[in-house]
Amino acid sequence: MSKQEIGRVILGKYQIESVLMESDEAIFYKGKQLTLEKFVLMKAFRSSNIDVITREVRNLARLNHPNILSLIDYGIDADGKAFIIFEMPEGENLKNLISRGETLSLLRVNELIQQIASAIITAHANGIVHGQLNPQYIYIAKSADNKEFVKVFGFESAGRITTIEEAAYTAPERFIDSDIKDARSDIYSLGIIAYELLTGRVPFVGDSIEEIRSKHMQSPPPPISSYRSDVSDELEAIIFRALAKSVDNRFQTMKGFAESFDFAVNLSKKHLDQSVQPVRASDSNPWKTAFIVFVGMVSLAAVFVYLTQVKQIDPPTSLPRDANSLPVQPINPATGSMEQTLSNMSGFENISNASSSINGKSESVRTSDPWSRGAFIPPPTGQYYDANVNPESPFMPADGNVYIIVPKNTNSNVKPTKTPSANVSNGQLPAVKPTPTPDVPKEVKSSAIPIPKASPKPSPAQSPEPQ
């Protein structure tokens, strides 16, 4: 029936030239304005309810947006059919662009989605829902500066789903109620278009409307990453949110979806402005490559020579002499002989301990009889004490010996005082009464008491009695 209208003149000035598309609500023709010889797009309503058509036309007349086809005329033909006349879009239909199988860059896809969404946002702001948004209702043309611009038409096209092509872009809720007009249904349809622009295919396909309907209602869309690797997880998540089965789980506004889509594309670091072209054989020059490699090797060699020769620093073999330093007696190497000598010493089995107080410090004074063993050579005269000042000190172990030599009294006028015997039983020394200081000649006071040097003599057979 639609093809029979080709060549017919309606409203006295528009001639039908070809059929563009059909829906349950209307038929779209390509026509010509005979007076101006200008192409136009004509929408012929199937319905004869003039009141409904008039109300729709008035709504469409309010839309003024660069991405929406402008309405230029409206009328009712002699046979009672209502027609709306739009400007004829230039360029090609988006369906034809997708069918060529071109891989579109993320930036190009984003640009198309932003323009389509901008047109839908304006319609929603005026209370108009597209209802059947798909690539057939979108045209892409070139501007004077060779930029792509989009034109959208077919608003207020809600009706029964009659073809598989329509079913592929229809929101789940419209399969339940085809007359529903919900702005979130347009968000779902634009999500399908975005998916197809990125992958070259719609997410839900089937051999019948019922099969496609079942997938829209129950099946999740296949991952976009299985078709191309430059789509980020964020962008895929945004598209899948637009394709939520429940309207409450989708973006609630077209503006929210468009802004999120744009943000995800710009955030991605993987997108390319255009497809990567393979390098042709004629573009490669082996001599140029060899020269670059040679220059790189020379540069590395120069850096190596600089670091190893020019920047080399010889470490000093001797340290500078300090003029104010003092000579230090060198330490003999450790041979172990001293330790061996000490370990062989004997004669210290019989040791008596006593406590005394020297300069207010508690000391342990020990006397022993080492002469009989030949372990120590005593001075020629006088007494000695083996004093271990701090038995608990790790620097002076209890088995060490520190000998205190008491010089012999050379003054005949002074008699030695008998040293009281130590009380070994209770470990305490009896109190010692102070001895009066004898009169010492002036000669002795003015000079130090000479201490005879010990001369090596053979050890006596027995220890002498203390004087």
Task: Indicate the Cα dihedral angle 17, 23, 25, 26, nearest 10°.
Answer: 0
pLDDT at res. 49: 81
Element (H, E) at 94: helix 94-99
pLDDT at res. 315: 54
Give the CATH fold of the 92-267 domain.
Transferase(Phosphotransferase); domain 1 (1.10.510)
Classify each residue of 40-79 as buried b or exposed e, where b means 16 or more C-beta atoms within 10 Å of its C-beta. bbbbbbeeeeeeebeebbeebeebebebbbebeebebeee
pLDDT at res. 80: 85
- The CATH 1.10.510.10 portion of the chain extends over 92-267
Residue 201: φ, ψ to 5°: -150, 155
Element (H, E) at 406: strand 403-406
From residue 195, alpha-carbon distances to 226, 241, 260, 340 in Å are: 12, 12, 15, 92
In whole angstroms, what is the distance from residue 342 CA to residue 115 CA?
102
Amino acid symbol at 81: K
- The CATH 3.30.200.20 portion of the chain extends over 3-87
Beta strand pairing call for 403-406 and 383-388: antiparallel
pLDDT at res. 107: 93
In whole angstroms, what is the distance from residue 250 CA to residue 260 CA?
12
Give the ranges where 207-324 is alpha helix by DSSP (H).
209-218, 233-242, 254-267, 286-305
Amino acid symbol at 99: S
**The two three-digit tokens of residue 260, written as one number:** 């999120």
Amino acid symbol at 421: S
pLDDT tens-digit profile, the chain (467 residues): 567 788 899 988 999 999 998 888 889 999 999 999 899 999 998 877 888 888 888 888 889 999 999 999 999 988 888 999 999 988 899 999 999 988 899 999 999 999 999 999 999 999 999 989 999 999 999 888 888 999 999 898 777 888 899 999 999 999 998 888 899 999 999 999 999 999 999 999 999 999 999 999 999 999 998 999 889 999 999 999 999 999 999 999 999 999 999 999 988 755 444 444 433 434 446 666 777 877 778 778 776 666 666 555 555 556 666 666 666 555 555 566 666 665 565 544 444 444 444 444 444 444 444 444 444 455 555 555 555 555 555 555 555 455 555 555 555 565 555 555 544 444 454 555 555 555 544 444 444 445 445 455 554 444 444 44
Residue 249: φ, ψ to 5°: -95, -5
18 close to 93: Cβ distance less than 8 angstroms: no
pLDDT at res. 321: 67
Query: 129's torsion region: left (phi>0), alpha (psi -120 to 50) or beta?
Result: beta
pLDDT at res. 191: 97
**The two three-digit tokens of residue 395, written as one number:** 């620097």
In whole angstroms, what is the distance from residue 261 CA to residue 239 CA?
8
- Edge-to-edge strand list for the sheet holding 352-358: 352-358, 361-367, 383-388, 403-406
Beta strand pairing call for 9-10 and 14-22: antiparallel
From residue 109, alpha-carbon distances to 130, 198, 222, 275 in Å are: 21, 7, 19, 13
Whole-model pTM over 0.85: no
pLDDT at res. 55: 85
**The two three-digit tokens of residue 8, written as one number:** 């017919």
pLDDT at res. 324: 66
267 close to 232: Cβ distance less than 8 angstroms: yes
71 close to 61: Cβ distance less than 8 angstroms: yes
DSSP characters over 18-61: EEEEE-SSEEEEEEEETTTTEEEEEEEES---HHHHHHHHHHHH
pLDDT at res. 268: 76
Domain 3-87 has CATH 3.40.50.970: no
In whole angstroms, what is the distance from residue 241 CA to residue 253 CA?
12
The 10s digit of each residue's pLDDT in 115-127 is: 999 999 999 999 9
